């Protein structure tokens, strides 16, 4: 990334984060939400205003808190990425199938990546959660298994 970014580019980058078809969440160390992109907004039915500053666990009771905290701790302490695959953990947050009419699955299967976001002092103050829709892969795999 260039050292000098002009305001127009920042605008584009923000647009990109909003528009890409993956979920982007940024959490602070207290698991409170600081970034919530359009994918998250549209699939959860909750806009940024409704989620900013709130705890992720408070909003999504389906998340296995102990499991998620363990994963995030690794990221914070080691500064490495962590992953969750639909095969082991079908979804992080319960969203409806992106293909509600012709789709074969009851919900959206998700792969998740957890990224450390470092502050200026090098410490990991925030985590970025990226959620990918893995429903197609899950459905195909199930069909092959039959």
Partner 1 sequence: MMARKQLIRALPAEWPVTISQANHGEEAMQMLRQGLAEVMLLDLTMPVMDGFEVLAALRDEGLSCKVIVVSGDVQEEAIRRVSELGALAFIKKPADPQKLHETLSRLGLLAPPTPASPSSTPAVVAVPARPAFELKINFRDALREISNVAMGRAAALLAKVLGVFVELPVPAVNIFEVSELHMTLADAQRGERFSALCQGFIGDGIAGEALLLFHDSEIADISRLFKWHPKDETETSEMLLDLASILIGACLSGISEQIDVRFSQGHPQLLGLHGSIDSLIHVNQQRWRKTLAVEISYSLEGHNVHFDLLLLFTEDSIQRLSHKINYLLN
Name the residues that contact partner 1, by CB under 8 A: 21, 38-39, 42-43, 45, 96-104, 106, 133, 136
Name which of 29 and 96 has its Cβ closer to partner 1: 96
Q: How far is the CB of 101 from partner 1 (least distance, A)?
A: 4
Q: How far is the CB of 100 from partner 1 (least distance, A)?
A: 5
CA gap 120, 101 in Å, rounded: 47
Name which of 103 and 115 has its Cβ closer to partner 1: 103
- In our burial notation (b when 16+ CB lie closer than 10 A, e otherwise), range 86-125 reads beebbbbbbbebeeeeeeebebbbbbbebbbeeeeeeebe
Q: How far is the CB of 144 from partner 1 (least distance, A)?
A: 16
The three-class DSSP label of residue 15 is: helix
């Amino acid at each position: 990334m260039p050292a000098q970014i002009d305001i127009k580019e920042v605008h584009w980058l923000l647009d990109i984060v909003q528009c890409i078809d993956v979920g982007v969440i940024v959490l602070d160390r207290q698991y409170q939400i600081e970034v919530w992109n359009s994918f998250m907004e549209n699939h959860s039915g909750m806009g940024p205003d409704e989620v900013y500053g709130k705890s992720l666990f408070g909003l999504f009771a389906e998340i296995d808190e102990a499991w998620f905290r363990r994963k995030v701790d690794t990221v914070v302490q080691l500064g490495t990425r962590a992953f969750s695959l639909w095969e082991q953990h079908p979804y992080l947050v319960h969203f409806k199938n992106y293909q509600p009419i012709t789709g074969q699955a009851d919900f959206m299967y998700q792969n998740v990546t957890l990224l450390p976001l470092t502050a200026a002092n090098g410490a990991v103050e925030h985590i970025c959660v990226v959620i990918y829709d893995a429903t197609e892969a899950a459905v195909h795999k199930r069909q092959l298994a039959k």
